[in-house]
Amino acid sequence: MTTSFNAIICRYHEIAIKGHNRNMFEQKMVDNIRYLLRRIENIQVKKVRGRIWVQRKEMVPFSAADMTEIHDRMKMAFGLESYSPAIMTPPDIEALKDAVRSSAAPYFNAALAQNQTISFRIRASRSDKEFPMRSKDIEIALATLVGDIFDQDRLKINLDKAMVTVGCEVRREFAIIFYESFRCPGGLPVGSNSSVLALLSGGIDSPVACYMMMKRGCPVDYVTFHSSPYTPPETTDKVKKMGALLNEFQRPGKLFSCNLAEIQKAIRDNCRPDFRTVLYRRMMLRIAAKIAGNNGNRALLTGESVGQVASQTIINMGVINAATEMLILRPLVGIDKNETIRMAREIGTLDLSNVQVPDSCTVFAPSSPATAAPMFRVLEEEQKLGDWESIIDKIVTEAEVF
Ligand code: ATP
Ligand code: MG
């Protein structure tokens, strides 16, 4: 037998959302939760003073399948700290006792099945000071009830550390009973900050970078570069799949797909081979900045991390950075690869990242790229390209949008 719940209580740190933006943050969170749980029929998400509540219309209990969906999706609710499945009742002690009677068995029996005696506690709080019982009295009443339902001799109360904790909150409008809290990712609700355009490669790093900025409240659109016909359609297909995967965390962002081949050929034919990677990257940023400008994104986002590859030395990053005035966010800049891999596994992007497809940047790549390309030399090389601006304008115009 499992307990059936008719509400989910969602908690967030009010401290994070203090000030005059508070309403906006809360409203975004409500919208986002509604979106995440959209596959549950008749879902309702409401906010009542410092808490967000999820219910189904007319308080219909959640099915087992609903609960699975809730556990799956609430992991993606940026801005929330935790949530608890709960039984919501009128604010009345008899109703609370009924709720405990109908819900406690799975928790207590599971613990009793494994132990001769078990510890439990009731933790009650009331925000409605007009409720006729104090928190302490509610705890005593419910603890006595638990003693009556289960074998008294095998139970003991432990207020500090208990195997079963029964939570109870009494408010003016309703009361709840709950047993467990599940962690959410924290951060800020997506949409509470400006949108950014991520350079998404399908590697391990850039999807993690997207996740990190969504978690700071930024909706993310994506741009990816391929070098058709030198890279196969699989290169873009993989990034499309990655975009779809990342879009599970937010209202879907757009994916722009650009063919870099023409500017790469110009670079191959006119410039020093060891500078190619840096030159490609500068062009990528310029194209990305133009798309971001047209699309209303306020910053670019990459998965760069210092020291990882030749293009990510501090000197080369500086030279690449200077190609645009737009803010470039690099949330992984100081993060070890192992840590990024761990995050990618947790987020669920690692397996897809590990699928090997040819990468746009490796097309015509030099065997030994420069690790410290001086700025003035890079500018000289770009001079040799002639009217590269028209080429990148054409690439922007011809970008495909998914
Ligand atoms: P990733 O795992 O994200 O590919 P990486 O460690 O392989 O990163 P690079 O391939 O040098 O490092 O790329 C650094 C960053 O440049 C990437 O994180 C990504 O933001 C961007 N980038 C690289 N290649 C592409 C591409 N083909 N399309 C879009 N962005 C790209
Ligand atoms: Mg890469």
Q: Whose CA is nearest to atom 9 of ligand 1?
A: 304
Grade residue 1 by pLDDT with cuts at 50, 70 and 90.
low
Q: From the alpha carbon of 206, which atom of ligand 1 is closest? A: 3
**Could you identify the residue written with the tokens 């949530």?**
83
- In this structure, are residues 104 and 134 in contact, taking their beta carbons and an 8 Å threshold? no
Q: From the alpha carbon of 202, which atom of ligand 1 is closest? A: 4
Task: For residue 25, count other CB atoms closer than 10 A to its CB.
Answer: 21
Among the bound ligands, the one closest to the CA of 303: 1
Q: Among residues 183, 206, 231, which one ends one of the domains?
A: 183
Tell me which of 110-114, 203-207, 293-297 is least confident: 110-114
pTM: predicted TM-score of the whole model, two decimal places: 0.92
| 190 in a structural domain | no
How many independent structural domains does the chain possess?
2
| 189 in a structural domain | no
Q: How many CA atoms lie within 13 A of 150 on its CB side?
A: 28
Grade residue 291 by pLDDT with cuts at 50, 70 and 90.
very high
Please give the residue range of the domain that contains residue 288. 196-401
Strands (E), 242-359: 255-259, 300-301, 328-329
Same domain, 340 and 363: yes
Q: Among residues 132, 149, 183, which one ends one of the domains?
A: 183
Cα distance between residue 189 and residue 284, in whole Å: 29
Cα distance between residue 300 and residue 196, in whole Å: 6
Q: From the alpha carbon of 239, which atom of ligand 1 is closest? A: 28
Q: Whose CA is nearest to atom 31 of ligand 1?
A: 201
Q: Whose CA is nearest to atom 7 of ligand 1?
A: 203
Instruction: Name which of 91, 80, 29, 88 is nearest 59 in CA terms.
Output: 88
State percent of the chain over pLDDT 70: 98
Enclosing H/E stretch for 219? none
Tell me which of 1-5, 82-86, 100-104, 265-269 is least confident: 1-5
Q: In a mutational test of the pocket of ligand 1, which residue from 196, 197, 199 has the highest number of ligand atoms less than 8 Å from its CB?
A: 199
Task: For residue 238, count other CB atoms closer than 10 A to its CB.
Answer: 21
Ligand 1: lining residues by beta carbon, under 6 Å: 199-201, 203-206, 224-225, 302-304, 308-309, 311, 359-361
Render pLDDT for 55-71 as a digit per residue (tens, 0 to 9).
Answer: 999 999 999 999 999 99
On the question of pLDDT at 18 being above 70, the answer is no
Q: From the alpha carbon of 199, which atom of ligand 1 is closest? A: 30
Instruction: Name which of 175, 197, 214, 208 is nearest 79 in CA terms.
Output: 214
Tell me which of 9-18, 105-114, 279-288 is least confident: 9-18
Same domain, 171 and 273: no
Same domain, 238 and 374: yes
On the question of pLDDT at 12 being above 70, the answer is yes
Cα distance between residue 49 and residue 29, in whole Å: 14
Same domain, 244 and 353: yes
CATH number of the structural domain spanning residue 164: 3.30.2130.30
CATH number of the structural domain spanning residue 261: 3.40.50.620
pLDDT, greater one: 1 or 161:
161
Which sign does the torsion angle of CA 192, 197, 201, 206 carry? negative
User: How far, in Å, are 209, 232, 288, 363 from residue 229 at the CA level?
Assistant: 28, 6, 21, 10
Task: For residue 132, count other CB atoms closer than 10 A to its CB.
Answer: 7
Grade residue 14 by pLDDT with cuts at 50, 70 and 90.
low
Q: Give residue 143's pLDDT.
A: 94
Ligand 2 centre from 285 Cα, in Å?
15
